[in-house]
A and B are shown apart, each in its own frame.
Chain A
Amino acid sequence: MKHVFKTTPVSLFDIQSLEGWLEEQANEGLFPLWVNGDFTQFRRDDAAPGTRFRLEAADGKEAPEPEQLELYKEAGWEYGDMVGKAYFLFYTTDPSATELHTDPVTRGLSLEQLAGEVQKARRKQRIWRYVILGILIAGGAVIWRVDSRQLPLYFLDMSGSLLILLPLFLCFWRNDEREYRCLLDLQRSLELGITPKPHRPRRRNFWFVPFWIAIPLFGLIIVLWTGRLFGFWDYPTAKPLEDFSGTYVNLQQLESEPLLTYEDLFGEPHHKSPGSDWGESTVTRKFALLSPGYYTVNQTLLSPEDWESKSGYSSSGEPEYVYSPTLEAVYFHLLIPAMARPVALAQMAEQEAVNLTWTYEEIDYPGLDFVILSRSNSQYQGVAVAKGGRLAVFHYGGREDLADHLDALAKAVNP
């Protein structure tokens, strides 16, 4: 026996539409085996035009009373199954069978308990939905009002989640309210003795988000965001830069004298200190909801000739000081280009070294959306360049003035 699954395109609270839809399916030879708010399973039969389906409120019972079955059977109606937990489904193929309900007021009474339960559920739902809405709005307001430089990137990521969650949440709310109202209006008008107008089956709107799509989506956002917060999605190790084929600015391009890597200069790899990238040139891919697959490139070069500067590094202590500029750059491709500026400011603030005074200056550069230059009272500087959703934030420690190298830096976002 062939079974067919279909999504239920009408709300369970829209009784007339659901009955109408089941009758349409029966005309095409599909007999419902079970129905719930999301899916309906049918048995493929011969087409049975004229089959009538009627939903009777279950009022908390799990099966119809024997008396109800008997009365309905004698009138030509068979029991099908429960629909959700709200209804019993009856059907008849006999065109002469009397309608289940011949008195609208009594029909209204038969739906009274169900309408009361729906009303109660709606009230409860409204309370927690207002609470959630309040939290979402407050979260949005915090993100909006707080100085971008105070927000780490993962917190900015939340705003991306909010952009998905809030419309989803409002869609749910709107759909539920429409569906509840459908049943409550029907029940009220019946109880007042008003026979409902002939009903054209109402399909769910295209923006209806079924529960079975929304819940995994919501779960995915939570998982992605949690993973993002704890860095689960980052590539586990920093990779050598020479194996990397993506766009980045080579530190040597910024320097006016030829420099060497640590290994080239000292003939051995640098013994990495925990928590420090100094001495290595590596790339690390990371994950953010706003910019999946962004990456950080850390570069350190050393000068074999400069013994004057006292700001360099010695592999064996005094007096082998050398000039050793560093460039830490983060390259984003943001899904929401409008977020480029707050992300840039947050990233620049994250890279600021403590105990230094920083000043920010925005300068015009043709072809770019913005260029922000940050300077400290030491050799450290920062630059953020953005074009569309592409953003690169540089943190440089060295002798050069980054303002003189904007052409090279701009190529990172405008190749």
Chain B
Amino acid sequence: MPGREKGPLTEPMYYVLMSFLRREMCGTEVTDFVDRKTKGRVRLGPGTLYTLLARFQDEGMIAETSVDGRKRTYKLTDKGRAAFEEELARLRACVNDGLEEEEAP
């Protein structure tokens, strides 16, 4: 899975995991969350979202909580939270490194 074996999470992967941090969500809500959070900077295509939901579920990073007609709702698992935090730490380190260099005399 990207982010673990194959390198860092991509931006859409990172934001999809982020969307489940506070509450359970269905796919449409994830799209809205990412759009709102990034102010439209990160566009989440339905193919990308559907693939990520399926992959995250296969990898045990999210779990299905309910099915309502065509809508499925998911929650973040501990494994998913760990993956998100690991990526967050990596991004923090990246930002800190950049800031340090930028602020250096």
Q: Which residues of chain A are within 8 angstroms of B12 by Cβ–Cβ distance?
A: 102-103, 106
Please report whether the interface of chain B is mostly helix, strand, loop or mixed according to DSSP.
helix
Residue of A nearest to B51 (CB): A110
Supposing A106-B12, A110-B51 touch, asked if A98 and B43 sit within 8 A by C-beta, the answer is yes
Q: How far is the CA of A98 from the CA of B40 in the complex (A)?
A: 12
Chain B interface size band reads 20 to 34
B37 at the interface (CB under 8 A from A): no
CB-based contact B28/A101 at 8 Å: no
| Distance from B73 Cβ to chain A, minimum over Cβ atoms (Å) | 10
Q: Which of B44, B49, B55 contacts A109 (CB 8 A)?
A: B55
CB-based contact A106/B13 at 8 Å: yes
Please report whether the interface of chain A is mostly helix, strand, loop or mixed according to DSSP.
helix
Q: How far is the CA of A155 from the CA of B6 in the complex (A)?
A: 57
Q: How many residue pairs bridge A and B at CB < 8 Å?
A: 81
- Give the contact stretch, choosing among B64-72, B77-85, B86-94, B96-104: B64-72
Q: Which residues of chain B are within 8 angstroms of A71 by Cβ–Cβ distance?
A: 27-28, 31, 46, 49-50
Q: Which residues of chain A are within 8 angstroms of B13 by Cβ–Cβ distance?
A: 103, 105-106
Supposing A101-B45, A103-B11, A193-B10 touch, asked if A67 and B2 sit within 8 A by C-beta, the answer is no
Residue of A nearest to B55 (CB): A109
A333 at the interface (CB under 8 A from B): no
Q: Which of B31, B44, B72 contacts A67 (CB 8 A)?
A: B72
Supposing A191-B6, A193-B10 touch, asked if A98 and B50 sit within 8 A by C-beta, the answer is no
Please report the total number of A residues contacting B with Cβ < 8 Å: 25
Q: How far is the CA of A290 from the CA of B3 in the complex (A)?
A: 64
A280 at the interface (CB under 8 A from B): no
Give the interface of B toward A (CB within 8 A): 2, 6, 10-13, 27-28, 31, 42-53, 55, 69-72
**Besides A71-B50, A102-B42, A102-B43, 6 new A-B residue pairs in contact (Cβ under 8 A), listed by A number:** A56-B47, A72-B47, A99-B43, A99-B45, A101-B51, A109-B2
